[in-house]
């Protein structure tokens, strides 16, 4: 997979492996990120991996775009793409009532029953690809093709934290009350923000996320236990 290099301001280089989200492109991102970490090129300060590209920041006093690109090209020669092997993280989801305001719309758009949409979501093979947008926002791959729907034409405000949302092949669990144009199909009581400064988020990149269905009563009980604890 041949990468494309793009200068960003005077202090960074964006390495892009594909225009479309794919496991192959993301594996290449991870492989290059790990190669840089193992053998940091002169002047490189930080790397930021994303879905299909890697931002490499550097000190422009020590190096420049051409030197960094040449060094990255040498790291890429013979580099084998690899996938991070993480751990399984279990997330409970209630798909009932006000917790799933877009479930009916997703069912209509996909020609499935609401129960079939839920079952498809539960059967998805979800992996954490990256963090972005807001604290703890882990972008997950793995939404089954049968329930992939596009973003809404306009975002909805005031979407509660803990909402399970989907758009295209991606899924995300909100951690703050914010607007979103993704489809809201459930709510989780599982805390994604841990409160631990050494490990602030439940997930690490590469982790597998397993969704488990709970009913409204169980959701309320879990929330009560957290409040009492």
Tokens describing residue 82: 């690899």
Output phi, psi for 156, to 5 deg: -105, 135
Domain 4-76 part of CATH 3.40.1160.10: no
Q: Assign 209 a pLDDT band (cuts: 50, 70, 90).
A: very high
Q: Assign 111 a pLDDT band (cuts: 50, 70, 90).
A: very high
Q: Assign 53 a pLDDT band (cuts: 50, 70, 90).
A: very high
Instruction: Give CATH 3.30.1360.40 domain extents, the chain.
Output: 4-76
Distance CA 208, CA 15 (A): 26
User: Is the whole-model pTM more than 0.75?
Assistant: yes
Predicted confidence (pLDDT) per residue in 81-96, tens digit? 666 677 999 999 999 9
Average pLDDT, the chain: 92
Instruction: Give CATH 2.40.100.10 domain extents, the chain.
Output: 88-228
**Strands (E) located in 107-162:** 126-131, 138-141, 156-159
pLDDT given for residue 81 in this prediction: 63
Domain 88-228 part of CATH 3.40.1010.20: no
């Amino acid at each position: 997979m041949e990468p494309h290099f793009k200068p960003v301001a005077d202090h960074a280089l964006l390495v892009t492996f594909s225009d479309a989200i794919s496991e192959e492109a993301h594996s290449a991102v991870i492989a290059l990120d790990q190669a840089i970490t193992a053998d940091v090129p002169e002047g490189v300060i930080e790397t930021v991996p994303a879905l299909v590209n890697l931002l490499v920041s550097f000190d422009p006093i020590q190096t420049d775009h051409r030197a960094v690109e040449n060094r990255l090209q040498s790291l890429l020669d013979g580099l084998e793409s690899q996938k991070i092997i993480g751990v399984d993280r279990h997330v409970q989801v209630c798909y009932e009532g006000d917790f799933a305001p877009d479930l009916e719309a997703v069912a209509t758009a996909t020609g499935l029953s609401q129960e079939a949409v839920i079952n498809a979501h539960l059967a998805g093979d979800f992996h954490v690809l990256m963090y972005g947008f807001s604290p703890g926002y882990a972008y997950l791959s793995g939404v089954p093709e049968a329930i992939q729907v596009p973003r809404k034409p306009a975002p909805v405000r005031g979407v509660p934290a803990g909402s399970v949302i989907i758009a295209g092949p991606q899924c995300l669990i909100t951690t703050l009350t914010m607007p979103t144009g993704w489809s809201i199909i459930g709510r989780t009581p599982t805390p994604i923000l841990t409160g631990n400064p050494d490990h602030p988020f439940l997930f690490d990149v590469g982790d597998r996320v397993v969704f488990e269905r709970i009913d409204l009563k169980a959701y309320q009980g879990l929330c009560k236990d957290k409040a009492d604890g």
